[in-house]
Amino acid sequence: MLESNPMAKQRVCNHCNQPITGSYLTALDADWHPEHFCCAICNKPVTEPKFYAHEGQPCHPACYEATLAKRCTVCDKPLTGKYQVNYWGETTCVGHDKQYASCAYCGRIVPQVTKRTRRREIEDISCAVCETTAINTVAQANYLLPHGIAWLEAQGLKLRAKSFKIEVLDRADFMARNVGKRDPLGLTMSKRYMRNNKLDRVELESVALLKGLPQALFEGVCVHELGHVWLLQHKIVNLPPIDEEGFCELLAHRHYTAVGTQSAKFYAERIEKNPDPIYGAGFRKLKK
């Protein structure tokens, strides 16, 4: 708010620190010579009643919006009112989250895809950030697998066999696997052989991972599936699903926590908050 008073008593200008003997302005908890109440960006006098403040100095609305205001990471408009901040510190206009789809892996808004798109077409939608580290080939998966195995064995869980088939499948192929129990991001396939109505042996067939997972997420999912592999290799095959998945989720959570990057922390928190009665509840049960 700007105020002027030609009959004011002596005051000191906040800009030049000189006494004010005539008209003055009161704004930003200070007094000013009218000619010294200038925009911090362009140094021209601020005469309009609406202005923005920056470090105790006034700014023309246009100057502030063009140079200092936070900008929406979706539409690049200046954010001068209410706005949203996501986990990654990115700022967006209110409502964009209802207008556009979100990345399936990190939650960032994907402005290229609207919410009107059919769900099956956006189920695995990935943002530009996640796409930069996406694991799309078996070669990439096999390169990262030894790191997951090394981490698992450092926890005291030794694998009896470290070589097995790895598959990287798209959503259609992944969901076409006709199995009763399925992790939406990874799947450990095996065959059980019985003798005299008792389990004789278990043969690991493959570990399948969903194509397109960003590397940080892929590594945790890989550790989760290696937990299933360890259980199979040690013939621990009759655990209730809540315990088996909880055990594997606990391993993934510990891996994310050990890595400690912002992405890893994000996926660790997602495990902690997962409302699923098997995966989320199983993790919390096993962690306790």
Whether the predicted pLDDT of 242 surpasses 90: yes
Choice between 179 and 235, residue whose per-residue pLDDT is larger: 235
Whether the predicted pLDDT of 1 surpasses 50: no
Share of the chain above pLDDT 90, in %: 66
49-89: pLDDT as tens digits: 889 998 889 999 999 999 999 999 999 999 988 999 999 99
Other C-beta atoms lying within 10 Å of the C-beta of residue 148: 22
122-173: pLDDT as tens digits: 567 899 999 999 999 999 999 999 999 999 999 999 999 999 999 999 888 8
Whether the predicted pLDDT of 104 surpasses 50: yes
Q: What per-residue confidence (pLDDT) applies to 178?
A: 57
Three-state SS string over the chain comes to CCCECCCCCCEECCCCCCEECCCCEEECCEEECHHHCECCCCCCECCCCCCEEECCEEECHHHHHHHCCEECCCCCCEECCCEEECCCCCEEECCHHHHEEECCCCCCEEEEEECCCCHHHHCCCCCHHHHCCEECCHHHHHHHHHHHHHHHHHCCCCCCCCCCCEEEECHHHHHHCCCCCCCCCEEEEEEEEEECCEEEEEEEEEEEEECCEEHHHHHHHHHHHHHHHHHHHCCCCCCCHHHHHHHHHHHHHHHHHHHCCHHHHHHHHHHHHCCCCCHHHHHHHHHC
Q: What per-residue confidence (pLDDT) applies to 238?
A: 83
2-58: pLDDT as tens digits: 555 555 467 899 999 999 888 898 999 999 999 999 999 999 999 888 899 988 899
Q: What per-residue confidence (pLDDT) applies to 80?
A: 84
Question: What mean pLDDT do residues 83-98 have?
Answer: 92
Q: What per-residue confidence (pLDDT) applies to 149?
A: 97
Share of the chain above pLDDT 70, in %: 91
Q: What per-residue confidence (pLDDT) applies to 182?
A: 55
Kindly report the pTM of this predicted structure.
0.80
Q: Quick one: CA dihedral 44, 49, 52, 54, positive or negative?
A: positive
Q: What per-residue confidence (pLDDT) applies to 252?
A: 98
Whether the predicted pLDDT of 103 surpasses 70: yes
Confidence band (pLDDT; 50, 70, 90) for 114? Answer: confident
